[in-house]
Amino acid sequence: MRPLVYNPAMRSNLVSRRQIVLAAAAGVPATALGACSGARPTSPVAVAARDVRLVVEAQRTADGAGVRLRRALGTRALPMLDPFLLLDEMHSDRPEDYLAGFPTHPHRGFETVTYVLEGAVDHKDSLGNHGHLGPGSIQWMTAGHGIVHSEMPNHETGNSRLWGFQLWVNLPASRKMMKPRYQDLAPDRVPEAMVQDARIRVVAGEAGGVRGPVEGIVTSPTMLDIAIARKGRAVTPLPDGHNALLYVIDGSAEFGPSATTVREGQVAVLAERGDLSVRSGDGVRFLLFAGQPLGEPVARSGPFVMNTEDELRRAWEDYRSGTLVDAG
Ligand code: CO
């Protein structure tokens, strides 16, 4: 396919990015849209949409005290995508699949993001925090030097379903031992944006001119929950150079200039540059994550993610001796 020349001057024009991408898909040169009157770009800037680099099936597994889940990231097929370390989905109508939960356990060196769509997750920690994450709520927890907590999935009265996600985001060496921090967001704190045919809940980063409420995260992450109805399409920019992956949680869609199909239960890694472009025949819902890669060595062992084996040993020692939470 012909590479699409993207001229920043076109941003201020009446031709939308959507039209440009549609034109590209139809093999129409961007200049034929009449947008770039006279101003031929001297140094063309890349292709407009990110292509799909890799599609992987989420793996069924169990974790915690026996919670059945699907692991989209953190598998042998896809161990990590810097700065993202793990992505789990819990989705079941059977309480025995999730009620055992994740009793008391530690973390150090990264951040955990919990997103609940149905049911609930109750949490309690070593700092005396406790909370209830209901449908639509988010918890962005920066474990920093150490936290010991429990995360117990539950269901609402009259509905036995739990549907939730946990993402792990790495911290750079300079911030691994920072003070722990929580950003708890009730559903009404997460704004929605409409971008062409897409309805987007913006948790972190930006879409359609709407900024998400999660702030001050080192890797400047984007986290979007995107729903597109039948025969819908959308194009939205992603930060240049940020690694991006998406996980389809319902339906299917075609992504990127090559229209690669990604279905429910599959995770796709996108190229490093360009916009997100999606079209769906039957409707789709997916989670999109993008973040600045850290480019540092990763040493991981269970609930700890550090840079070196020595630091991992120290984390286990601190946990065993009860000083994980105090270490600073
Ligand atoms: Co945890």
Q: What is the pLDDT of residues 267-293, one digit of tens each?
A: 999 999 999 999 999 999 999 999 999
Confidence of residue 327 (pLDDT cuts 50, 70, 90): low
C-alpha of residue 107 to centroid of ligand 1, in Å: 6
C-alpha of residue 262 to centroid of ligand 1, in Å: 29
| Residues paired with residue 159 on neighbouring β-strands, in sequence order | 156
Helices (H), strands (E): how many in the chain? 2, 25
Token output for 82: 């810097």
C-alpha of residue 270 to centroid of ligand 1, in Å: 27
C-alpha of residue 213 to centroid of ligand 1, in Å: 22
C-alpha of residue 2 to centroid of ligand 1, in Å: 47
C-alpha of residue 77 to centroid of ligand 1, in Å: 23
Q: What is the pTM of this model?
A: 0.85
pLDDT tens per residue across span 54-90: 999 999 999 999 999 999 999 999 999 999 999 999 9
| Distance (Å, whole) CA 323 – CA 320 | 8
C-alpha of residue 105 to centroid of ligand 1, in Å: 6
Using an 8 Å Cβ cutoff, are 72 and 89 in contact? yes
Instruction: Summarize the confidence of residues 25-51 as an average pLDDT.
Output: 48
C-alpha of residue 138 to centroid of ligand 1, in Å: 14
Q: Is 26 left (phi over 0), alpha (psi -120 to 50) or beta?
A: alpha
Residues in the chain: 328
Using an 8 Å Cβ cutoff, are 25 and 257 in contact? yes
Report, at the CATH architecture level, how domain 52-291 is classified: Sandwich (2.60)
Token output for 100: 């055992």
Looking at residue 303, its pLDDT comes to: 96
Using an 8 Å Cβ cutoff, are 280 and 252 in contact? yes
Most confident of 21-25, 45-49, 81-85: 81-85
**Terminal C-alpha separation, the chain:** 53
pLDDT tens per residue across span 106-143: 999 999 999 999 999 999 998 888 999 999 999 999 99
Confidence of residue 326 (pLDDT cuts 50, 70, 90): confident
- Where in the chain are all domains bearing CATH 2.60.120.10? 52-291
Instruction: Summarize the confidence of residues 21-27 as an average pLDDT.
Output: 40
